[in-house]
Amino acid sequence: MIETKQIRRYRTKYIKSTPDLIGEKVTVCGWVRTHRAQKTFSFVELNDGSEVSNLQIIMDQKIPEYESMIQKIATGASISVTGTVTESPGKGQSVEISAESFKVIGEAPTDYILQKKRHSFEFLRTIAHLRPRTNTFGAVTRVRSQMAYATHKFFQGRDFAYVQTPIITSADCETHGEMFHVTTLDKNKVPKTEDGKVDYSKDFFEKETFLTVSGQLNGEAYATALRDIYTFGPTFRAENSNTSRHLAEFWMIEPEFTFADLDDNMDLAEDYLKYLVKHAIDHCGSDLEFFNKFIDKTLLERLSLVLETPCTRLSYTDAIEILLKSGKKFEFPVSWGVDLSSEHERYLCEEHFKGPVILYNYPKEIKPFYMRKNDDGKTVAAMDVLVPGVGELMGGSQREERLDVLLKNLEEANLPLETYNWYVDLRRYGTTPHAGFGLGFERLVQYVTGMENIRDVIAFPRYPKHAEY
Ligand code: 4AD
Ligand code: MG
Protein backbone atom coordinates (compact mmCIF):
# COMPACT_ATOMS: atom_id res chain seq x y z
CA MET A 1 0.00 0.00 0.00
CA ILE A 2 1.21 3.49 -0.83
CA GLU A 3 0.77 6.15 1.81
CA THR A 4 -1.22 8.58 -0.32
CA LYS A 5 -1.26 11.27 2.37
CA GLN A 6 2.52 11.37 2.35
CA ILE A 7 2.99 11.36 -1.42
CA ARG A 8 0.33 13.99 -2.05
CA ARG A 9 2.12 16.44 0.22
CA TYR A 10 4.91 17.52 -2.06
CA ARG A 11 4.53 18.80 -5.59
CA THR A 12 7.86 19.17 -7.38
CA LYS A 13 7.21 22.88 -7.93
CA TYR A 14 6.82 23.37 -4.19
CA ILE A 15 10.01 21.48 -3.43
CA LYS A 16 11.98 23.58 -5.89
CA SER A 17 10.63 26.85 -4.58
CA THR A 18 11.03 26.08 -0.87
CA PRO A 19 14.71 26.32 0.21
CA ASP A 20 13.75 25.27 3.75
CA LEU A 21 13.20 21.76 2.45
CA ILE A 22 16.90 21.22 1.70
CA GLY A 23 18.05 18.36 3.90
CA GLU A 24 14.48 17.22 4.54
CA LYS A 25 13.03 13.86 3.63
CA VAL A 26 10.13 14.00 1.18
CA THR A 27 8.08 11.69 -0.97
CA VAL A 28 7.26 12.72 -4.52
CA CYS A 29 5.23 11.01 -7.20
CA GLY A 30 4.67 11.56 -10.88
CA TRP A 31 5.63 10.26 -14.30
CA VAL A 32 9.08 9.44 -15.58
CA ARG A 33 10.18 11.64 -18.45
CA THR A 34 13.63 10.12 -18.92
CA HIS A 35 15.84 7.60 -17.23
CA ARG A 36 19.60 7.57 -17.76
CA ALA A 37 21.37 4.63 -16.15
CA GLN A 38 25.01 5.11 -15.15
CA LYS A 39 27.30 2.44 -13.77
CA THR A 40 26.37 2.63 -10.12
CA PHE A 41 23.33 4.89 -10.12
CA SER A 42 20.54 6.32 -12.31
CA PHE A 43 19.28 9.80 -13.15
CA VAL A 44 15.51 9.98 -13.38
CA GLU A 45 13.65 13.06 -14.57
CA LEU A 46 10.28 13.15 -12.86
CA ASN A 47 7.35 15.38 -13.84
CA ASP A 48 4.21 15.69 -11.73
CA GLY A 49 2.43 18.33 -13.79
CA SER A 50 2.94 21.13 -11.29
CA GLU A 51 5.34 22.93 -13.63
CA VAL A 52 7.05 22.52 -16.93
CA SER A 53 10.47 21.56 -15.62
CA ASN A 54 11.22 18.14 -14.14
CA LEU A 55 12.69 17.21 -10.81
CA GLN A 56 15.92 15.22 -11.00
CA ILE A 57 16.19 12.13 -8.88
CA ILE A 58 19.40 10.26 -8.13
CA MET A 59 18.85 6.58 -7.53
CA ASP A 60 21.85 4.83 -6.14
CA GLN A 61 22.33 1.12 -6.63
CA LYS A 62 22.57 0.72 -2.85
CA ILE A 63 18.79 1.27 -2.64
CA PRO A 64 17.32 -2.14 -1.69
CA GLU A 65 14.87 -2.33 -4.62
CA TYR A 66 17.39 -1.07 -7.17
CA GLU A 67 18.37 -4.33 -8.84
CA SER A 68 14.89 -5.75 -9.20
CA MET A 69 12.99 -2.55 -10.00
CA ILE A 70 15.25 -0.16 -11.86
CA GLN A 71 14.61 -1.60 -15.32
CA LYS A 72 10.89 -0.94 -14.80
CA ILE A 73 11.56 2.79 -14.62
CA ALA A 74 10.92 3.75 -18.21
CA THR A 75 9.56 6.87 -19.88
CA GLY A 76 5.90 7.21 -18.99
CA ALA A 77 5.91 5.01 -15.89
CA SER A 78 4.35 6.39 -12.71
CA ILE A 79 6.54 6.14 -9.64
CA SER A 80 6.82 7.37 -6.10
CA VAL A 81 10.16 8.18 -4.55
CA THR A 82 11.21 8.92 -1.00
CA GLY A 83 14.47 10.70 -0.44
CA THR A 84 16.34 13.76 0.75
CA VAL A 85 16.18 17.15 -0.94
CA THR A 86 19.74 18.16 -1.77
CA GLU A 87 21.31 21.11 -3.50
CA SER A 88 22.10 20.07 -7.01
CA PRO A 89 25.64 20.37 -8.30
CA GLY A 90 24.39 19.99 -11.87
CA LYS A 91 23.41 22.74 -14.27
CA GLY A 92 19.78 23.64 -14.87
CA GLN A 93 18.30 22.79 -11.51
CA SER A 94 18.70 24.06 -7.97
CA VAL A 95 17.69 20.95 -6.07
CA GLU A 96 17.41 17.24 -6.67
CA ILE A 97 16.30 14.22 -4.66
CA SER A 98 18.69 11.60 -3.39
CA ALA A 99 16.40 8.62 -3.34
CA GLU A 100 16.31 6.24 -0.40
CA SER A 101 13.51 4.08 -1.72
CA PHE A 102 11.14 4.07 -4.67
CA LYS A 103 8.13 2.22 -6.02
CA VAL A 104 6.99 1.69 -9.57
CA ILE A 105 3.25 2.23 -9.44
CA GLY A 106 2.29 1.88 -13.10
CA GLU A 107 4.72 0.56 -15.68
CA ALA A 108 4.89 1.95 -19.22
CA PRO A 109 6.05 -0.58 -21.80
CA THR A 110 8.28 0.54 -24.65
CA ASP A 111 5.31 1.00 -27.00
CA TYR A 112 4.38 4.11 -24.97
CA ILE A 113 4.21 6.70 -27.70
CA LEU A 114 5.49 9.78 -25.90
CA GLN A 115 9.16 8.90 -25.91
CA LYS A 116 11.70 11.65 -25.80
CA LYS A 117 11.46 12.71 -29.42
CA ARG A 118 9.40 15.71 -30.47
CA HIS A 119 5.98 15.12 -31.99
CA SER A 120 4.09 17.54 -34.22
CA PHE A 121 0.98 19.22 -32.83
CA GLU A 122 -1.03 17.59 -35.64
CA PHE A 123 0.07 14.17 -34.44
CA LEU A 124 -0.57 15.02 -30.80
CA ARG A 125 -4.16 15.92 -31.70
CA THR A 126 -4.65 12.28 -32.62
CA ILE A 127 -3.66 11.28 -29.08
CA ALA A 128 -5.48 14.05 -27.26
CA HIS A 129 -5.85 11.85 -24.17
CA LEU A 130 -2.06 11.58 -23.79
CA ARG A 131 -0.96 15.02 -24.95
CA PRO A 132 -1.48 16.65 -21.51
CA ARG A 133 1.65 14.70 -20.53
CA THR A 134 3.80 16.75 -22.91
CA ASN A 135 5.52 19.95 -21.85
CA THR A 136 3.51 22.16 -24.20
CA PHE A 137 0.09 20.85 -23.24
CA GLY A 138 0.89 20.84 -19.55
CA ALA A 139 1.87 24.49 -19.87
CA VAL A 140 -1.20 25.39 -21.95
CA THR A 141 -3.44 23.73 -19.39
CA ARG A 142 -1.92 25.58 -16.46
CA VAL A 143 -2.14 28.94 -18.25
CA ARG A 144 -5.73 28.23 -19.23
CA SER A 145 -6.60 27.43 -15.64
CA GLN A 146 -4.97 30.65 -14.44
CA MET A 147 -6.86 32.68 -17.06
CA ALA A 148 -10.14 31.25 -15.79
CA TYR A 149 -9.18 32.10 -12.23
CA ALA A 150 -8.12 35.63 -13.26
CA THR A 151 -11.44 36.12 -15.04
CA HIS A 152 -13.41 35.37 -11.90
CA LYS A 153 -11.05 37.52 -9.83
CA PHE A 154 -11.38 40.46 -12.20
CA PHE A 155 -15.17 40.47 -12.37
CA GLN A 156 -15.80 39.47 -8.76
CA GLY A 157 -13.38 42.23 -7.74
CA ARG A 158 -15.64 44.69 -9.54
CA ASP A 159 -18.77 43.21 -8.00
CA PHE A 160 -20.08 41.59 -11.17
CA ALA A 161 -22.30 38.59 -10.37
CA TYR A 162 -21.49 35.29 -12.10
CA VAL A 163 -24.63 34.07 -13.87
CA GLN A 164 -24.90 30.62 -15.47
CA THR A 165 -27.03 30.92 -18.60
CA PRO A 166 -28.68 27.97 -20.39
CA ILE A 167 -26.90 25.81 -22.92
CA ILE A 168 -30.10 24.69 -24.63
CA THR A 169 -31.99 27.55 -26.23
CA SER A 170 -34.59 28.40 -28.86
CA ALA A 171 -33.05 31.79 -29.74
CA ASP A 172 -30.28 32.48 -32.24
CA CYS A 173 -28.48 35.34 -30.54
CA GLU A 174 -26.02 36.08 -33.33
CA THR A 175 -28.60 35.40 -36.08
CA HIS A 176 -26.08 33.43 -38.06
CA GLY A 177 -28.24 30.33 -38.30
CA GLU A 178 -25.16 28.26 -37.53
CA MET A 179 -26.58 26.29 -34.65
CA PHE A 180 -26.55 22.65 -33.60
CA HIS A 181 -29.98 21.13 -33.16
CA VAL A 182 -31.01 19.56 -29.88
CA THR A 183 -33.69 16.98 -30.44
CA THR A 184 -34.98 13.63 -29.26
CA LEU A 185 -37.01 13.02 -32.42
CA ASP A 186 -36.41 9.68 -34.09
CA LYS A 187 -34.29 10.55 -37.12
CA ASN A 188 -35.71 7.62 -39.05
CA LYS A 189 -39.32 8.62 -38.43
CA VAL A 190 -39.35 12.40 -38.27
CA PRO A 191 -42.91 13.66 -37.63
CA LYS A 192 -44.07 16.16 -40.24
CA THR A 193 -46.65 18.95 -40.23
CA GLU A 194 -49.30 19.18 -42.93
CA ASP A 195 -47.10 21.42 -45.05
CA GLY A 196 -44.24 18.90 -44.90
CA LYS A 197 -42.01 20.62 -42.32
CA VAL A 198 -40.55 18.93 -39.25
CA ASP A 199 -43.18 18.92 -36.52
CA TYR A 200 -41.23 20.19 -33.53
CA SER A 201 -44.36 20.21 -31.39
CA LYS A 202 -43.69 16.47 -31.06
CA ASP A 203 -40.13 17.08 -29.88
CA PHE A 204 -38.90 17.06 -26.28
CA PHE A 205 -39.35 20.80 -25.73
CA GLU A 206 -42.30 21.05 -28.11
CA LYS A 207 -40.32 23.55 -30.11
CA GLU A 208 -37.15 23.74 -32.18
CA THR A 209 -34.12 23.99 -29.89
CA PHE A 210 -30.37 24.40 -30.29
CA LEU A 211 -27.09 24.54 -28.43
CA THR A 212 -26.53 28.18 -27.60
CA VAL A 213 -24.14 30.40 -29.57
CA SER A 214 -24.03 32.97 -26.77
CA GLY A 215 -25.43 33.55 -23.30
CA GLN A 216 -25.84 37.26 -23.94
CA LEU A 217 -29.62 37.57 -24.25
CA ASN A 218 -30.18 35.70 -21.00
CA GLY A 219 -27.34 37.67 -19.45
CA GLU A 220 -29.13 40.91 -20.31
CA ALA A 221 -32.15 39.79 -18.28
CA TYR A 222 -29.94 39.51 -15.21
CA ALA A 223 -27.93 42.66 -15.93
CA THR A 224 -31.18 44.63 -16.03
CA ALA A 225 -31.77 43.52 -12.44
CA LEU A 226 -28.39 43.04 -10.79
CA ARG A 227 -26.72 45.81 -12.81
CA ASP A 228 -23.41 44.08 -13.50
CA ILE A 229 -23.09 40.40 -14.40
CA TYR A 230 -20.86 38.05 -16.35
CA THR A 231 -21.23 34.58 -17.78
CA PHE A 232 -18.51 32.02 -18.40
CA GLY A 233 -19.59 28.90 -20.18
CA PRO A 234 -19.46 26.73 -23.28
CA THR A 235 -20.92 27.99 -26.56
CA PHE A 236 -21.42 26.22 -29.87
CA ARG A 237 -21.20 27.19 -33.51
CA ALA A 238 -21.96 24.85 -36.36
CA GLU A 239 -19.95 26.92 -38.81
CA ASN A 240 -17.88 24.84 -41.16
CA SER A 241 -14.73 26.86 -40.48
CA ASN A 242 -11.49 24.99 -40.74
CA THR A 243 -9.28 27.76 -39.45
CA SER A 244 -6.76 28.05 -36.66
CA ARG A 245 -9.16 30.39 -34.79
CA HIS A 246 -12.51 28.57 -34.95
CA LEU A 247 -13.93 25.74 -32.89
CA ALA A 248 -17.40 24.22 -32.96
CA GLU A 249 -17.39 24.21 -29.14
CA PHE A 250 -15.61 26.98 -27.32
CA TRP A 251 -15.86 28.86 -24.05
CA MET A 252 -16.95 32.44 -23.81
CA ILE A 253 -16.93 35.07 -21.08
CA GLU A 254 -19.71 37.61 -21.48
CA PRO A 255 -19.91 40.58 -19.14
CA GLU A 256 -23.09 42.63 -19.37
CA PHE A 257 -23.55 45.86 -17.46
CA THR A 258 -26.20 48.52 -17.21
CA PHE A 259 -26.26 52.31 -17.11
CA ALA A 260 -23.30 51.96 -19.44
CA ASP A 261 -22.49 52.97 -23.01
CA LEU A 262 -20.00 51.97 -25.68
CA ASP A 263 -17.15 53.97 -24.11
CA ASP A 264 -17.69 52.19 -20.79
CA ASN A 265 -17.68 48.93 -22.71
CA MET A 266 -14.34 49.70 -24.37
CA ASP A 267 -12.88 50.73 -21.01
CA LEU A 268 -14.02 47.48 -19.40
CA ALA A 269 -12.66 45.39 -22.28
CA GLU A 270 -9.28 47.10 -22.12
CA ASP A 271 -9.02 46.81 -18.33
CA TYR A 272 -9.97 43.14 -18.50
CA LEU A 273 -7.43 42.38 -21.23
CA LYS A 274 -4.64 44.08 -19.30
CA TYR A 275 -5.65 42.37 -16.07
CA LEU A 276 -5.43 38.98 -17.78
CA VAL A 277 -2.04 39.72 -19.31
CA LYS A 278 -0.69 40.98 -15.99
CA HIS A 279 -2.02 37.93 -14.20
CA ALA A 280 -0.34 35.65 -16.74
CA ILE A 281 2.99 37.45 -16.34
CA ASP A 282 2.74 37.37 -12.54
CA HIS A 283 1.47 33.81 -12.10
CA CYS A 284 2.57 31.79 -15.13
CA GLY A 285 6.22 32.87 -15.29
CA SER A 286 7.94 29.58 -16.06
CA ASP A 287 5.23 28.49 -18.51
CA LEU A 288 5.42 31.80 -20.39
CA GLU A 289 9.21 31.49 -20.56
CA PHE A 290 8.73 28.06 -22.03
CA PHE A 291 6.38 29.44 -24.70
CA ASN A 292 8.73 32.32 -25.37
CA LYS A 293 11.58 29.88 -25.97
CA PHE A 294 9.84 27.20 -28.00
CA ILE A 295 6.64 28.63 -29.49
CA ASP A 296 6.83 32.39 -30.02
CA LYS A 297 10.06 34.27 -29.41
CA THR A 298 8.29 37.64 -29.22
CA LEU A 299 5.73 36.56 -26.64
CA LEU A 300 7.10 38.12 -23.46
CA GLU A 301 8.02 41.35 -25.17
CA ARG A 302 4.60 41.57 -26.80
CA LEU A 303 2.75 40.93 -23.54
CA SER A 304 4.72 43.46 -21.52
CA LEU A 305 4.21 46.07 -24.23
CA VAL A 306 0.44 45.61 -23.93
CA LEU A 307 0.61 46.60 -20.28
CA GLU A 308 2.50 49.78 -21.07
CA THR A 309 0.46 51.14 -23.97
CA PRO A 310 -3.19 52.14 -24.24
CA CYS A 311 -5.15 50.16 -26.85
CA THR A 312 -5.71 52.08 -30.07
CA ARG A 313 -9.38 52.99 -30.52
CA LEU A 314 -10.53 53.57 -34.02
CA SER A 315 -13.85 53.75 -35.86
CA TYR A 316 -14.67 51.18 -38.52
CA THR A 317 -14.78 54.02 -41.05
CA ASP A 318 -11.24 55.14 -40.17
CA ALA A 319 -10.06 51.52 -40.28
CA ILE A 320 -11.40 51.18 -43.83
CA GLU A 321 -9.47 54.34 -44.78
CA ILE A 322 -6.25 52.85 -43.42
CA LEU A 323 -6.81 49.56 -45.21
CA LEU A 324 -7.54 51.35 -48.50
CA LYS A 325 -4.44 53.49 -48.16
CA SER A 326 -2.23 50.55 -47.12
CA GLY A 327 -1.39 49.67 -50.70
CA LYS A 328 -1.78 46.01 -49.73
CA LYS A 329 -3.47 43.54 -52.01
CA PHE A 330 -5.98 41.70 -49.84
CA GLU A 331 -7.64 38.47 -50.86
CA PHE A 332 -11.00 40.04 -49.97
CA PRO A 333 -11.13 43.61 -51.32
CA VAL A 334 -12.00 46.39 -48.88
CA SER A 335 -14.76 48.96 -49.16
CA TRP A 336 -17.05 50.67 -46.67
CA GLY A 337 -19.75 48.19 -45.64
CA VAL A 338 -17.82 44.92 -45.91
CA ASP A 339 -17.33 42.69 -42.91
CA LEU A 340 -13.64 42.72 -42.07
CA SER A 341 -11.94 39.39 -42.55
CA SER A 342 -9.04 38.07 -40.60
CA GLU A 343 -6.42 39.37 -43.08
CA HIS A 344 -7.75 42.93 -42.60
CA GLU A 345 -7.95 42.61 -38.83
CA ARG A 346 -4.45 41.22 -38.66
CA TYR A 347 -3.04 43.90 -40.92
CA LEU A 348 -4.44 46.55 -38.59
CA CYS A 349 -3.17 45.12 -35.31
CA GLU A 350 -0.02 43.34 -36.50
CA GLU A 351 1.39 45.61 -39.19
CA HIS A 352 -0.18 49.03 -38.83
CA PHE A 353 -0.65 49.54 -35.08
CA LYS A 354 1.50 46.65 -33.78
CA GLY A 355 -0.69 46.09 -30.74
CA PRO A 356 -4.30 45.64 -29.63
CA VAL A 357 -6.87 47.75 -31.49
CA ILE A 358 -10.49 48.40 -30.57
CA LEU A 359 -12.66 49.06 -33.62
CA TYR A 360 -16.10 50.58 -33.10
CA ASN A 361 -19.20 51.83 -34.95
CA TYR A 362 -19.66 49.15 -37.58
CA PRO A 363 -22.17 49.27 -40.47
CA LYS A 364 -25.52 48.10 -39.16
CA GLU A 365 -26.04 45.64 -42.02
CA ILE A 366 -23.23 43.35 -40.87
CA LYS A 367 -24.18 43.24 -37.19
CA PRO A 368 -26.97 41.50 -35.20
CA PHE A 369 -30.36 42.98 -34.29
CA TYR A 370 -29.59 43.79 -30.65
CA MET A 371 -26.88 46.39 -31.27
CA ARG A 372 -27.76 50.02 -30.65
CA LYS A 373 -28.34 52.14 -33.73
CA ASN A 374 -26.22 55.26 -33.95
CA ASP A 375 -27.70 58.62 -34.88
CA ASP A 376 -26.03 58.55 -38.31
CA GLY A 377 -28.57 55.88 -39.33
CA LYS A 378 -25.78 53.82 -40.91
CA THR A 379 -23.78 52.37 -38.05
CA VAL A 380 -24.34 50.58 -34.75
CA ALA A 381 -22.49 51.00 -31.44
CA ALA A 382 -20.51 47.79 -31.90
CA MET A 383 -16.92 47.12 -30.93
CA ASP A 384 -14.37 44.42 -31.66
CA VAL A 385 -11.06 44.01 -29.87
CA LEU A 386 -8.33 42.82 -32.25
CA VAL A 387 -4.99 41.48 -31.05
CA PRO A 388 -1.83 40.48 -32.92
CA GLY A 389 -1.54 36.79 -33.75
CA VAL A 390 -5.23 36.12 -33.19
CA GLY A 391 -7.36 38.84 -34.78
CA GLU A 392 -10.77 39.24 -33.13
CA LEU A 393 -10.51 38.41 -29.44
CA MET A 394 -13.66 40.13 -28.21
CA GLY A 395 -16.85 41.32 -29.83
CA GLY A 396 -19.53 43.41 -28.19
CA SER A 397 -21.76 46.44 -28.32
CA GLN A 398 -24.00 48.85 -26.57
CA ARG A 399 -27.46 47.24 -26.71
CA GLU A 400 -30.57 48.72 -28.28
CA GLU A 401 -32.53 49.81 -25.21
CA ARG A 402 -35.30 51.68 -27.10
CA LEU A 403 -38.42 49.56 -27.39
CA ASP A 404 -39.60 50.88 -30.75
CA VAL A 405 -36.19 50.58 -32.41
CA LEU A 406 -35.68 47.04 -31.09
CA LEU A 407 -39.09 45.93 -32.38
CA LYS A 408 -38.22 47.34 -35.78
CA ASN A 409 -34.86 45.56 -35.77
CA LEU A 410 -36.50 42.23 -35.01
CA GLU A 411 -38.93 42.72 -37.82
CA GLU A 412 -36.20 43.68 -40.27
CA ALA A 413 -34.16 40.63 -39.25
CA ASN A 414 -37.22 38.39 -39.71
CA LEU A 415 -37.02 37.15 -36.15
CA PRO A 416 -40.31 35.90 -34.66
CA LEU A 417 -41.61 38.06 -31.84
CA GLU A 418 -42.94 35.00 -29.98
CA THR A 419 -39.36 33.78 -29.48
CA TYR A 420 -37.92 37.15 -28.47
CA ASN A 421 -40.88 38.66 -26.63
CA TRP A 422 -39.32 38.03 -23.24
CA TYR A 423 -36.20 39.87 -24.44
CA VAL A 424 -38.32 42.80 -25.58
CA ASP A 425 -39.90 42.90 -22.09
CA LEU A 426 -36.53 44.06 -20.77
CA ARG A 427 -37.18 47.26 -22.77
CA ARG A 428 -40.87 47.46 -21.86
CA TYR A 429 -40.14 47.57 -18.15
CA GLY A 430 -37.44 49.80 -16.71
CA THR A 431 -35.17 49.88 -19.72
CA THR A 432 -31.64 51.27 -19.30
CA PRO A 433 -28.68 51.87 -21.57
CA HIS A 434 -26.49 48.81 -21.26
CA ALA A 435 -23.56 47.14 -22.94
CA GLY A 436 -21.39 44.05 -22.94
CA PHE A 437 -19.03 41.90 -24.91
CA GLY A 438 -17.94 38.31 -25.39
CA LEU A 439 -14.35 37.16 -25.11
CA GLY A 440 -13.43 33.89 -26.80
CA PHE A 441 -11.58 32.05 -24.06
CA GLU A 442 -9.52 29.84 -26.39
CA ARG A 443 -8.42 32.85 -28.42
CA LEU A 444 -7.29 34.45 -25.19
CA VAL A 445 -5.23 31.37 -24.35
CA GLN A 446 -3.72 31.53 -27.84
CA TYR A 447 -2.87 35.16 -27.28
CA VAL A 448 -1.08 34.68 -23.96
CA THR A 449 0.76 31.51 -24.99
CA GLY A 450 1.52 32.26 -28.64
CA MET A 451 0.04 28.89 -29.63
CA GLU A 452 -0.81 29.00 -33.30
CA ASN A 453 -3.78 26.67 -33.53
CA ILE A 454 -6.92 27.00 -31.43
CA ARG A 455 -7.27 23.20 -31.47
CA ASP A 456 -4.21 23.05 -29.24
CA VAL A 457 -5.46 25.27 -26.42
CA ILE A 458 -8.59 23.29 -25.44
CA ALA A 459 -8.51 19.82 -23.93
CA PHE A 460 -10.58 17.90 -26.47
CA PRO A 461 -11.24 20.12 -29.48
CA ARG A 462 -14.46 19.90 -31.47
CA TYR A 463 -14.26 21.07 -35.08
CA PRO A 464 -15.61 19.84 -38.41
CA LYS A 465 -15.26 16.04 -38.65
CA HIS A 466 -13.78 15.81 -35.16
CA ALA A 467 -15.55 14.90 -31.93
CA GLU A 468 -13.35 12.09 -30.65
CA TYR A 469 -12.80 11.40 -26.96
O1 4AD B 1 -18.35 38.13 -31.82
P2 4AD B 1 -19.21 37.07 -31.25
O3 4AD B 1 -19.97 36.23 -32.19
O4 4AD B 1 -20.16 37.81 -30.23
C5 4AD B 1 -21.18 37.28 -29.52
O6 4AD B 1 -21.48 36.12 -29.47
C7 4AD B 1 -21.86 38.30 -28.62
N8 4AD B 1 -23.16 37.76 -28.22
C9 4AD B 1 -20.98 38.61 -27.45
C10 4AD B 1 -21.57 39.63 -26.51
O11 4AD B 1 -21.67 40.78 -26.88
N12 4AD B 1 -21.94 39.23 -25.32
O13 4AD B 1 -18.33 36.10 -30.33
C14 4AD B 1 -17.57 36.63 -29.27
C15 4AD B 1 -16.16 36.10 -29.29
C16 4AD B 1 -15.37 36.46 -30.55
O17 4AD B 1 -14.80 37.73 -30.46
C18 4AD B 1 -14.33 35.36 -30.59
O19 4AD B 1 -13.24 35.66 -29.73
C20 4AD B 1 -15.07 34.18 -30.01
O21 4AD B 1 -16.18 34.68 -29.29
N22 4AD B 1 -15.55 33.27 -31.05
C23 4AD B 1 -15.02 32.06 -31.30
N24 4AD B 1 -14.00 31.41 -30.72
C25 4AD B 1 -13.69 30.18 -31.20
N26 4AD B 1 -14.37 29.56 -32.17
C27 4AD B 1 -15.42 30.17 -32.79
N28 4AD B 1 -16.10 29.54 -33.76
C29 4AD B 1 -15.77 31.49 -32.35
N30 4AD B 1 -16.73 32.37 -32.70
C31 4AD B 1 -16.58 33.43 -31.91
MG1 MG C 1 -17.71 38.92 -33.60
Tell me the per-residue pLDDT of 230-248, one tens digit each, with 9 for 90 and over.
999 999 999 888 999 999 9
Q: Is 1's pLDDT higher than 60?
A: no
Please list, in sequence order, all residues whose beta carbon lies within 8 angstroms of the beta carbon of residue 200, skipping any fewer than 6 positions away. Answer: 183, 185, 206, 207, 208
What per-residue confidence (pLDDT) applies to 117?
Answer: 84
State how far the Cα of 31 lies from the Cα of 56, in Å rounded to an integer. Answer: 12
Question: What is the distance in A from the centroid of ligand 2 to the CA of 395?
Answer: 5
- Report the nearest atom of ligand 1 relative to the CA of 443: 19
Question: What is the distance in A from the centroid of ligand 1 to the CA of 242?
Answer: 16
State how far the Cα of 305 lies from the Cα of 262, in Å rounded to an integer. Answer: 25
Of 254, 257, 392, the one to substitute when testing ligand 1's pocket (max ligand atoms within 8 A of C-beta) is 392
* Interval 176-203 mean pLDDT: 94
Q: Which helix (H) or strand (E) holds 83?
A: strand 78-87
Q: Which helix (H) or strand (E) holds 30?
A: strand 25-37
State how far the Cα of 39 lies from the Cα of 237, in Å rounded to an integer. Answer: 58
* 254-309 tens-digit pLDDT: 999 999 999 999 999 999 999 999 999 999 999 999 999 999 999 999 999 999 99
Question: What is the distance in A from the centroid of ligand 1 to the CA of 345?
Answer: 15
Q: Is 444's pLDDT higher than 80?
A: yes
Q: Is 2's pLDDT higher than 60?
A: no
* 360-379 tens-digit pLDDT: 999 999 999 999 999 999 99
Atom 30 (ligand 1): residue with closest C-alpha?
A: 246
Q: Is 329's pLDDT higher than 80?
A: yes
- What's the pLDDT band for 6 if we cut at 50, 70, 90? low
Strand partners, 199: none
What per-residue confidence (pLDDT) applies to 241?
Answer: 87
Buried b (16+ CB within 10 A) or exposed e, 128-144: beebebbbbbbbbbbbb
State how far the Cα of 260 lies from the Cα of 214, in Å rounded to an integer. Answer: 20
Bigger pLDDT: 34 or 117? 34
Q: Is the pTM for the entire model greater than 0.75? A: yes
Q: How many CA atoms lie within 13 A of 241 on its CB side?
A: 17
Ligand 2 (single-atom ion) residues, CB below 5 Å: 395
Ligand 1, CB cutoff 6 Å, lining residues: 173-174, 214, 216, 237, 239, 246-247, 250, 252, 254, 392-396, 436-438, 440, 442-443
State how far the Cα of 291 lies from the Cα of 135, in Å rounded to an integer. Answer: 10
Question: What is the distance in A from the centroid of ligand 2 to the CA of 409?
Answer: 19
